[in-house]
Structure 1
Amino acid sequence: MTKRHAGGVGDSPTRHGALLAAMITLIVAVSAAIYVGVGIDDGSRRQETFASAPRNSAAPASTGVWVGAWSASPSGSEPGTENNGLAGRSVRNVVHSSAAGTSARVTLSNLYGQQPLTLTHASLAVAATVNSPAAAADTMRRLTFGGRPTVVIAAGQQVVSDVVRIAIPHDSDVLITTYSPTPSGPTTFHAHARQISYTAEGDHAADVTGTPYTTQSMHWRYVTALDVLSRDSAGTVVVLGDSLTDGITSTVGENRRWTDVLSDRLRATAGSSDVPRYTVVNQGISGNQVLANGRGRPADNPSGLSRFPRDVLGRTGVKAVVVDLGVNDILKNPGQADPETIVAGLRGLVDLAHARGLRVVGATLMPFNGHRGYTDQRESVRQAINARIRSGKVFDAVVDFDKALRDPYAPGRLRSDYDSGDHLHPSDKGYERMAQVFDLKALKGAVPAEL
């Protein structure tokens, strides 16, 4: 990994740079108005809730540091839920915890809802076995919000549950269940979970057997974060990315995204050789771009720049950021993608992180020759962006995924055993390689906050 040069926002200003600077300033101002109190560095301050219920002042007391154990970015509204949402159904999300904890809390989102979402029952439990809707004995906990079992989440907002005492083992599946009795409009979801979750007809949020959960889903619905009070971890690494981080071609239910492997490496070596004791949360959205939003209001698949305040700065205990974005800005540009504009967008992400004193590790863009979107012109843009990243003038440190996964005999392509088959996304082996070449020491340290 290379280091970012001092003062690295760098070259002479251009019209694109001026527009991006104005856009970043606007993003910061808007996010400050919407997301109050985001970014909890030491667990002493909880993220603000947006429900009408007050927060519970009698949360369980314990010791440790609040960190992110799991997270997923809301990516849009689920097709087919425009009118009724998931009224009358229990939604049992299966998420995988990257950290052990003695207490937990959950973030639920109605970002893409068009009307208030009423949840009359929500629960948290450790799964009895992997890939199962059944709960382990004596782990079922009812979630409350400001001391009350029912919560109403306004359209476009989110809520954080009260803290519950529960032992969350490292590397365990956790069941987060919600039940809404009334129509709520579009369901906020994360489309590509690579994890099977479940639904049941009626209110079965307290069910421990899993028997009523007869319908499977490949989405995460409503839930966007699981935080734990940890005695083993000192902070959270947030990875912002696209489908390569989302792990869209990884094996379902086996947690083989590159961020999962990175988490395991950090845990195995934490506290030795200057490796920080950090958890990892994955904020990848398939198809995501640095600069362009998707359609709709709010936008489906919001750009990296627009979602950075919520999905990175808003995560619990964030200490470092990893950025792996840019390929879709090349592939989805109907004209000629401008490498300077994309690089300026990447620098904008760094500026947002530096304003909070956060260190940023950036990734080179991996090859995609053989993919249906490949052209020689797009390859030249990728090469130009990678040259700028490798120069050390964009990020604080660099992980060279391009070098690690490309075919040495055809460097415009992924090596065959690292290729899922579509010539863009890695195989499980390729994802593992991405995590293995990551220099864990590059995550340590901070930068002076830019006021």
Structure 2
Amino acid sequence: MVGAGRIVVAMLVVVLGAGVGQGTATAEAPARAAVDTWTGTWEAAPSGTATAHPGASFRNVVHLSVGGSATRVRLTNRLGTAPLRLDAVTVALRETGADAVPGSMRTATFNGSGTATIPAGEDLVTDVVPLAVPAGADLLVTVHTPDDSGPATYHRAAGQTNYRAPSGNWAADTDGSAYTTTTTSWYYVTGVDVLDAPAAGSVVTFGDSLTDGNGSTRDANHRWPDRLAERLNALPPYRRLGVLNAGISGNRLLREDVGPSALARFDADALSRSGVRVVIVLEGINDIKGTPNATDPDAFEDAYRTLVTRAHAHGIRVIGATLTPYGGYSAYTAAREAVRQQINASLRAGGPFDAVVDFDAAVRDPAQPQRILPAYDSGDHLHFNDAGMRALADTVDLTALD
């Protein structure tokens, strides 16, 4: 796990890398103006590490929220323990499976070079990639790592089929036939920005498995942030926002568990992202039901207030979400339910947030308010199916995002 100090280092690298990406000319694109407008269109927060596959090519499938005239990609070694060497990184529109749309394959560079090394604990942003992308497109971000660089930073619960070529540099191949192995995790990629998007900025959805999409249909992009992106894309450009999903399954607000705690990762996964105007926070249920479990509602309010204070220092608004029911789940107890109810009552009464979205009221069973409405229950009494994800997204007041 990474400490707060290393998160700060990663933030600095992201900022510096963003400057490089905006101003560097490459062999594939002319130098741009000194000031470009970048908008975050996709994110996967680093959740841990997995065994690396030296010599392999990873082809990640990422679903964009808003489009733009060019792209850039954030690669990560934030949770790694040794420098990560990137031998090739490519970006392309996806046709189907691991196949790219012919003519869309682009090489990503770093200060004009096709290779880069990312120090342990840091992120790195590519130069401008001259590839226009439409809203709602699937993008292929392929990374070839030639050496054993130690544990690979990844996002475990992608809810998306991704691809791996076990050996060889197949990053530039339009044909995906070399990608004979599949994975449901995203490796090394943590964000995508677009240039000159017809949007006013981006919103970060920050949370745990409920935001990460557990319970929704794999490969369908039915997480509640995906549905929120659909709603926002129907608005005029001056109100439209890119949607960044910073959910991590198993994440906790107050302590490390799966990934750094919300408090430790908030700057790197929310505040440092491109064009962020507002953050929606849905965090805390894992602290209530986890081991050890948190029993003091005041600790939650103090943590929420800390997040809001840090966001306000960047001119970013924060919307808090009430904690959703989990009656019937194996870790449910009446005492823990009382903590959830106290937290929600505090949020509804005003709390530390700029606004509140009442997810609890939207999805609970009126006959048994400690439980999810059966029509929204994925089956484990904690996570939501596609209908439940839609109900969450449709509860967000879009005027609160303006």
Q: CA deviation digits over 1:239-284, x for unaligned, max 9? A: 110000000111010000000000010111235xxx8221100000
Q: Is residue 194 of structure 2 the alignment partner of residue 228 of structure 1?
A: yes
Distance in 2 between residues matched to 1:89 and 1:387, nearest whole Å: 50
**How is 1:268-283 mapped onto 2 (pairs within 5 angstroms)?**
268-271=234-237, 276-283=239-246
> Which residue number in structure 2 is paired with residue 142 of structure 1?
107
Distance in 2 between residues matched to 1:281 and 1:415, nearest whole Å: 27
Secondary structure at the residue paired with 2:250? Answer: coil
> Which residue number in structure 1 is paired with residue 388 of structure 2?
430
1:386 to 344, 347, 354: 344
> Which residue number in structure 2 is paired with residue 320 of structure 1?
278
1:101 to 68, 72, 75: 68
Amino acid at match of 2:172: A
Secondary structure at the residue paired with 1:167? Answer: coil
1:174 to 139, 152, 158: 139
Q: Is residue 45 of structure 2 the alignment partner of residue 69 of structure 1?
A: no
Amino acid at match of 2:87: T
Distance verdict in 2 for CA 1:33–1:71, change over 3 Å: closer
Where structure 2 has 5 or more consecutive residues not aligned to the other structure, the ranges are: none
Distance in 2 between residues matched to 1:228 and 1:220, nearest whole Å: 19
- Equivalent residues, number: 395
Deviation at 1:61, TM superposition (A): 2.7
Distance in 2 between residues matched to 1:183 and 1:363, nearest whole Å: 41
Amino acid at match of 1:414: I
Q: CA deviation digits over 1:125-147, x for unaligned, max 9? A: 00013xx1100011000111110
Q: Is residue 104 of structure 2 the alignment partner of residue 126 of structure 1?
A: no
State the identity as a percent.
Answer: 45
> Which residue number in structure 1 is paired with residue 78 of structure 2?
111
> Which residue number in structure 2 is paired with residue 361 of structure 1?
319
Distance in 1 between residues matched to 2:350 and 2:22, nearest whole Å: 46
Q: Is residue 135 of structure 2 the alignment partner of residue 159 of structure 1?
A: no
Q: CA deviation digits over 1:363-422, x for unaligned, max 9? A: 000011000010000000000000000011221111100000000111110000000010
Distance verdict in 2 for CA 1:421–1:306, change over 3 Å: same
Amino acid at match of 2:340: R
Distance in 1 between residues matched to 2:355 and 2:187, nearest whole Å: 34
Q: Is residue 19 of structure 2 the alignment partner of residue 56 of structure 1?
A: no
Contact 2:13 2:123 in 1 (8 A): no
Secondary structure at the residue paired with 1:182? Answer: coil
Distance verdict in 2 for CA 1:352–1:223, change over 3 Å: same
Secondary structure at the residue paired with 1:251? Answer: coil
TM-score when scaled to structure 2? 0.93
Q: CA deviation digits over 1:48-92, x for unaligned, max 9? A: 67xxx99735664379731011110000011xx1xxx22111100
Contact 2:78 2:120 in 1 (8 A): yes
Distance verdict in 2 for CA 1:278–1:182, change over 3 Å: same
Distance verdict in 2 for CA 1:120–1:46, change over 3 Å: closer
**CA RMSD, Structure 1 to Structure 2 (Å):** 2.1
> Which residue number in structure 1 is paired with residue 54 of structure 2?
87
Contact 2:297 2:342 in 1 (8 A): yes
Distance in 1 between residues matched to 2:340 and 2:22, nearest whole Å: 49
Deviation at 1:33, TM superposition (A): 5.2
Deviation at 1:35, TM superposition (A): 2.2
Contact 2:47 2:156 in 1 (8 A): yes
Contact 2:205 2:244 in 1 (8 A): yes
Distance in 2 between residues matched to 1:426 and 1:142, nearest whole Å: 38
Structure 1 stretch 210-219 or stretch 152-161: which is displaced more? 152-161
Distance in 2 between residues matched to 1:208 and 1:256, nearest whole Å: 27
Distance verdict in 2 for CA 1:336–1:96, change over 3 Å: closer
Distance verdict in 2 for CA 1:352–1:226, change over 3 Å: same
Q: CA deviation digits over 1:184-237, x for unaligned, max 9? A: 110100000000000012110011011111110000000000111134112010
Distance in 1 between residues matched to 2:63 and 2:136, nearest whole Å: 7
Contact 1:72 1:225 in 2 (8 A): yes
Distance verdict in 2 for CA 1:209–1:350, change over 3 Å: same
Amino acid at match of 1:409: A
1:395 to 344, 353, 358: 353
> Which residue number in structure 2 is paired with residue 286 of structure 1?
249
Q: Is residue 193 of structure 2 the alignment partner of residue 217 of structure 1?
A: no
Q: Is residue 154 of structure 2 the alignment partner of residue 183 of structure 1?
A: no
Distance verdict in 2 for CA 1:171–1:34, change over 3 Å: closer
1:413 to 357, 371, 392: 371
Distance in 2 between residues matched to 1:154 and 1:324, nearest whole Å: 31
> Which residue number in structure 2 is paired with residue 340 of structure 1?
298
Contact 1:56 1:147 in 2 (8 A): yes
Contact 1:64 1:231 in 2 (8 A): no
Deviation at 1:335, TM superposition (A): 5.2
Deviation at 1:158, TM superposition (A): 1.5
> Which residue number in structure 1 is paired with residue 161 of structure 2?
196
Where structure 1 has 5 or more consecutive residues not aligned to the other structure, the ranges are: 1-25, 40-44, 295-299, 445-451
Contact 1:145 1:151 in 2 (8 A): yes
Amino acid at match of 2:11: Y
Distance in 2 between residues matched to 1:159 and 1:227, nearest whole Å: 13
Secondary structure at the residue paired with 2:130? Answer: strand
> Which residue number in structure 2 is paired with residue 307 of structure 1?
265
TM-score when scaled to structure 1? 0.84
